Amino acid sequence: MIDYIKQAFSLLLSGDSELWQIIGVTVRMSLLSTLISCLIGLPLGVAAGRAEFRGKGLFVRITNTFMGLPPVVAGLIVFMFLSRSGPFGSLKLLFSVTAMVIAQVILITPIVTGLSTSVSSARAGRLRETAVGLGIGRLKQVLLLLSECRTQLISVALTGFGRAISEVGAVQLVGGNVQFKTRVMTTAIMLETNKGNFEFAIALGIILLLLAFIVISVAYAMQEKIK
């Protein structure tokens, strides 16, 4: 194991342009898709957790169902829409980082929405009573609940990021694993494994874990500051 770790750091220090391009695409795709998913899923989930409405149980069940959406299914949906014969084929987005981000957003948004609904529901009742007494409107209640649950919601966002950075099926399908364009760490690991370069694939896996550790450490530092 020590030898694999040494090889991983040797790769990082080698200044290999392809490796750093792969790292750059991985980080950009993962962070962007997580950000977009959080902008959609966090307010939606908190609003659903705060409110009591007819069909809420159905909404929760549907959201939880899509939390387990197979990546290849999400990739297939995006592929069909962005292919040359699809409705958005004229945009020529297939086999691009944008297509990968779209597929990731489809995968991550239900996770963020479902978890944030669960987190906010636990505090919604007490907050609703206080808000009614103070005459606070619905929008401000959602914003207040977002603030109240901010540390837990950071953990929700990190869960989404973990899904984004580890995904391979959807990004392989819509990104095509094109060298110097859409190749990311997970698809590079799969490629090297298929070629029989197991030591190199393990080294790439260690680098991927290191990237995730750095991003998560920064997020936890932020979480500690806003507690």
Distances (CA, A) of 72 to 69, 87, 91, 104: 9, 20, 22, 11
Q: Are 219 and 158 in contact (CB under 8 A)?
A: yes
Q: What is the pLDDT of residue 110?
A: 95
Look up the pTM and report it.
Answer: 0.88
Q: What is the pLDDT of residue 96?
A: 94
- pLDDT tens figures, 54-110: 888 898 899 999 999 999 999 999 999 999 888 998 899 999 999 999 999 999 999
**Tally of domains within the chain:** 1
Nearest-angstrom CA–CA distance, 168 and 99? 13
Confidence of residue 35 (pLDDT cuts 50, 70, 90): very high
Q: What is the CATH number of the domain that holds 163?
A: 1.10.3720.10
Confidence of residue 41 (pLDDT cuts 50, 70, 90): very high
Confidence of residue 47 (pLDDT cuts 50, 70, 90): confident
Domain that holds residue 174: 2-225
DSSP result, 152-190: HHHHHHHHHHHHHHH--HHHHHHHTT-TTTT--HHHHHH
Q: What is the pLDDT of residue 121?
A: 80
